Amino acid sequence: MAETGMAPTEKAPYTLNRATGDLADGAAKLAQEIGSTGVEALLAQANRTAARRGAAGALGSMKPRPAEWYAFDAKDQDTADWYPQGLTCGEESGSIGVPVFVASWYFKPEAGERGIRVSFLSPRTLKYQHALLVAAKPDGSYAPINIHAGGIALDGDLLYVADTFKGLRVFDLNNLLDLRTAQNDLGDPTRIGRHRGKFHAFGYRYVIPQTDFWKLAQPGPHFSFVSIDRSGGTPQLITGEYWEDDPGGRVAHWDLAFSGGEPNEVFVMGHPKIQGAISHGGKWYLSQAANATTNGKLLVYADQKLQTRPFPIGPEDLTVQDGKLWSVTEFRNKRVIFGVGL
């Protein structure tokens, strides 16, 4: 199949239905027992430090370099267990009161599944903190969520997480839970959930339970990444799919506040290996990957005219903050959050 550019296609396959089940009840019980905190409070005591313009190997041959970038610390650079995927920010949320980036990571080993986590990073202080995303149960316990988490987006306090084969999982940041408010320590770093009256989260201090789920009515489309466009009149949620060697991957536009059903419009992107997409100011921006040693590309469509721009190695999901387009890179020792001009 040849590369074609952005072309409209049918919407019906993307129909999403709400499937809350007992997720909200489980999250509410957990929040009542542990107690919630806020993003600003989390950032105030964040336990890791990013390096401004560090891990420059992530940029490869990119010229000009990004306007700004922040590298995760040495431990997060080197781990072969966790890989960054999704990216969102406070400006995308529209309601978080401080500048912040939020990046999602998935746990790669097949054994000892630890699910997915998010990192809250302050571009002001360079401090950041991980939080584990979990599925709460009505009995007050919780479990890891084994998905790729290839993209995330914030609308108000609602964090949308792409679930490749099912749709969109939703996490409410009002349920950002600090285990230190419920007990003196962080429990057993090898366990997850409630055991003998104590909470455990593989050593993480913060957990965020899932509160809602939007599931595909029929299997077929993939939900590989997600973003938000606030540049027009009605904010739009964007979902899209990654295809390795096929340019037939699609992106969809949905009105916010999100209510499921069919999207407003769906386009075939016409390029393979798209890891993130966002519309902004009448343009489409597509993040195209290559491999662990080769620079990716930023594909920009304006009035169906394509411009190809340089991008780092391993670019993923996209978001907009402070008039810049931001992404995150995934490969070991090349893990940065970076911003370029729109």
pLDDT digits (tens, 9 = 90+) for 222-234: 999 999 999 988 9
Q: What CA–CA distance (Å, rounded) separates 143 from 192? A: 6
Binned at pLDDT 50, 70 and 90, residue 4 comes out as low
Q: How much is the mean pLDDT over the chain? A: 95
Q: Are 6 and 269 in contact (CB under 8 A)?
A: yes
Comparing CA positions, the residue from 149, 145, 144, 148 lying closest to residue 159 is: 149
Give yes or no for residue 84 having a pLDDT over 70. Answer: yes
Q: What percentage of residues in the chain have a pLDDT greater than 90?
A: 92
The side-by-side arrangement of strands in the sheet containing 283-288 is: 274-280, 283-288, 295-302, 305-313
**Beta carbons within 8 Å of 298's beta carbon, 6+ residues apart:** 285, 286, 287, 288, 308, 309, 310, 311, 315, 325, 340
Give yes or no for residue 38 having a pLDDT over 90. Answer: yes
Question: What is the per-residue pLDDT for 8?
Answer: 95
Binned at pLDDT 50, 70 and 90, residue 1 comes out as very low
pLDDT, average across residues 184-205: 93
Binned at pLDDT 50, 70 and 90, residue 304 comes out as confident
Q: What CA–CA distance (Å, rounded) separates 6 from 307? A: 13
What's the pTM value of the predicted model, to 2 decimals?
0.97
Question: What is the per-residue pLDDT for 112?
Answer: 86
Question: What is the per-residue pLDDT for 97?
Answer: 85
Binned at pLDDT 50, 70 and 90, residue 197 comes out as confident
Q: What CA–CA distance (Å, rounded) separates 87 from 102? A: 6
Q: What CA–CA distance (Å, rounded) separates 129 from 143? A: 20
Q: What CA–CA distance (Å, rounded) separates 104 from 119? A: 6
Structural domains present in the chain: 7-341 (2.115.10)
Comparing CA positions, the residue from 260, 245, 248, 326 lying closest to residue 287 is: 326
Question: What is the per-residue pLDDT for 3?
Answer: 57
Phi, psi for residue 296 in degrees, rounded to 5: -80, -170
Q: Are 73 and 333 in contact (CB under 8 A)?
A: no
Residue with tokens 């990216």: 87
pLDDT, average across residues 122-131: 98
Q: What CA–CA distance (Å, rounded) separates 21 from 198? A: 26
Q: Are 130 and 118 in contact (CB under 8 A)?
A: yes
Q: Are 318 and 338 in contact (CB under 8 A)?
A: no
